[in-house]
């Protein structure tokens, strides 16, 4: 990590924000006009050359390959993936030397959906912490686009360190019948930028309680579930109570249900010089109560813009059932640290060389058998019939199952975890035959 410090004495982080696809490039253009993001390095990545030329980003990367022939992806994520594969060296060049890479995109189309996992993996291999901020399409955009977005999201979660997701469908809870289409998309983009801004401030600004780079890594690194975020603000008397009530009822947090399912929570609290310890205590007491099983990372800062007000932002990562299943299969518990699990397994293998029934389990004695029945069972165990003829050996057969093609995703990189391809059915990976 870069050892330089900013004016406030906090270590400088080298952060690059990459907008991928049409929506991603539009969002970073808006971010570059915001003073909060001063000091960030921006890059625009797209398959559409004309749209890319309109971007204000100082670094631009045109994703092109023979399959595209200058015509774009046509909404095909496979073409976006292939185009990104052709430009790995350029993506690596943009990522090298960066502590953090923020990827920004809207999923569902061809360019970002296919290219984002490739770009995330390359940036991660270059040594950066990779956090992706993505929007999922409205349902009105069609089932095909929604399915592509969900598939692309799963691929992205396997490649990036963390994914912060904004489902556009939830925007309907924040608008009314008179909200125009342009205002709706402007609101959606603004919400995503708010999420990036909150994380940016936590990492780059010195506060009363700092969140360090290692804290951020602990929250997002190695997690496969997407994260959600929400912000709330209140002023006047009882501002702490009002702020927390607004946030818990926020549509993007499913009315507070996400907090009960949280595996990790990043908390950013901002107030003016008049922010009291009682304000901070009331907010954090409620969050810790609702997220008692989560890893809570808290940061607080004073900003003159929030005099007599409080601004609270949460980034919530839900517990991933696959992580819990892995822990259970490994002989541990979902809430036990990996190192502790390893020690438990070592002890288990050393002390239990052979498995046995628990002493507390009662096994009833077998029923009495006649002498004729015993002789019949003895013959069968020796491979003989009742007439003394030998029985042919019964072999377990495997059903011939047809391999179904993935279609346009046939060439998509497999989902690899602990050296296993999770796209391959479990019974094949584990060598279980089917009769």
DSSP 105-126: EE-SSSHHHHHHHHHHHHHHHT
Q: How many CA atoms lie within 13 Å of 234's alpha carbon, on the beta-carbon side?
A: 16
Contact 316, 265 (CB under 8 A): yes
Outline which parts of the chain fall under CATH 3.40.50.1440.
Answer: 12-204
- Whether the full predicted model's pTM is greater than 0.75, yes or no, is no
Residue corresponding to tokens 């927390």: 244
Q: How would residue 352 be classed by pLDDT, with cut points 50, 70 and 90?
A: very low
pLDDT band for position 424 (cuts 50, 70, 90)? confident
Radius of gyration of the chain (CA): 28
Dihedral angle over CA of 372, 374, 379, 382, nearest 10? -170
Tell whether the model's pLDDT for residue 371 goes beyond 80. no
Residue 225: per-residue pLDDT: 65
Domain with CATH 3.30.1330.20 in the chain: 208-319
Mean per-residue pLDDT for 21-30?
94
Residue whose token pair is 């976006």: 80
* CATH 3.40.640.10 correct for 12-204: no
Query: Among the ranges 312-326, 378-392, 400-414, which has the highest mean pLDDT value?
Result: 312-326
Q: Which helix (H) or strand (E) holds 309?
A: strand 309-318
- Measured in degrees and rounded to the nearest 5, phi and psi for residue 41 equal -100, 130
The average pLDDT across 136-141 equals 92
How far is Cα 298 from Cα 295, in angstroms, rounded to an integer? 10
Q: What is the homologous superfamily of the domain 208-319 according to CATH?
A: Tubulin/FtsZ, C-terminal domain (3.30.1330.20)
DSSP string, 227-254: EEEEEEEEESTTHHHHHHHHHHT-GGGG
Q: Using CA atoms, how far apart are residues 420 and 358, in angstroms rounded to an integer? A: 33
pLDDT confidence bin for 382, thresholds 50/70/90: low
pLDDT-derived band of residue 333, with 50, 70 and 90 as boundaries?
very low
pLDDT in tens, 189-219: 999 998 888 888 878 777 777 777 777 777 7
386-418: pLDDT as tens digits? 555 555 555 555 555 555 556 556 666 777 777
Beta bridge partners of 18: 43, 103
Residues 6+ apart with CB under 8 A from 314: 229, 230, 231, 247, 253, 259, 265, 266, 267, 268, 287
Neighbours of 410 (CB within 10 A): 8
């Amino acid at each position: 990590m870069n050892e330089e410090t900013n004016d406030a004495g906090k270590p400088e982080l080298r952060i690059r924000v990459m907008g991928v696809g049409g929506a991603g490039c539009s969002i970073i253009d808006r971010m570059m006009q915001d003073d909060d993001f001063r000091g960030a390095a921006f890059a625009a990545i797209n398959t559409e050359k004309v749209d890319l030329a309109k971007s204000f980003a100082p670094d631009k990367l045109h994703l092109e390959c023979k399959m595209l022939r200058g015509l774009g992806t046509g909404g095909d994520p496979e073409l976006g993936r292939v185009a990104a594969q052709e430009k790995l060296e350029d993506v690596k060049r943009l990522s090298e030397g960066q502590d953090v890479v923020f990827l920004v995109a809207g999923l569902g189309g061809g360019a970002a959906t296919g290219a984002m996992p490739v770009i995330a993996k390359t940036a991660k291999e270059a040594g950066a912490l990779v956090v992706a901020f993505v929007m999922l399409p409205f349902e009105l955009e069609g089932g095909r686009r929604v399915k592509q977005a969900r598939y692309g999201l799963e691929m992205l979660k396997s490649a990036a360190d963390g994914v912060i997701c904004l489902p556009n469908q939830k925007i309907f809870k924040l608008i009314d019948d008179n909200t125009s289409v342009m205002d709706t998309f402007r609101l959606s983009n603004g919400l995503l930028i708010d999420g990036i801004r909150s994380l940016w401030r936590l990492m780059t600004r010195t506060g009363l309680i700092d969140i360090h780079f290692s804290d951020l890594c602990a929250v997002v690194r190695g997690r496969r579930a997407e994260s959600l975020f929400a912000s709330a603000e209140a002023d006047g008397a009882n501002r702490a109570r009002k702020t927390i009530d607004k946030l818990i009822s926020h549509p993007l947090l499913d009315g507070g249900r996400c907090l009960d399912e949280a595996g990790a929570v990043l908390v950013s609290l901002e107030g003016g010089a008049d922010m009291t310890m009682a304000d901070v205590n009331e907010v954090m007491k409620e969050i810790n109560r609702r997220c008692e099983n989560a890893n809570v990372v808290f940061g607080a800062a004073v900003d003159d813009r929030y005099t007599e007000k409080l601004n609270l932002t949460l980034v919530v990562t839900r517990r991933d059932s696959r992580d819990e299943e892995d822990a259970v299969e490994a002989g541990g518990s979902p809430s036990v640290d990996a190192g502790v699990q390893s020690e438990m397994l070592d002890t288990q293998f050393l002390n239990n060389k052979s498995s046995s029934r628990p002493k507390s389990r009662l096994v009833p004695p077998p029923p009495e058998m006649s002498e004729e029945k015993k002789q019949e069972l003895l013959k069968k165990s020796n491979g003989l019939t009742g007439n003394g003829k030998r029985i042919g050996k019964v072999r377990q057969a495997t059903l011939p199952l047809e391999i179904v093609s993935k279609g346009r995703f046939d060439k998509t990189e497999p989902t690899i975890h602990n050296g296993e391809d999770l796209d391959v059915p479990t019974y094949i990976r584990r060598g279980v035959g089917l009769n």
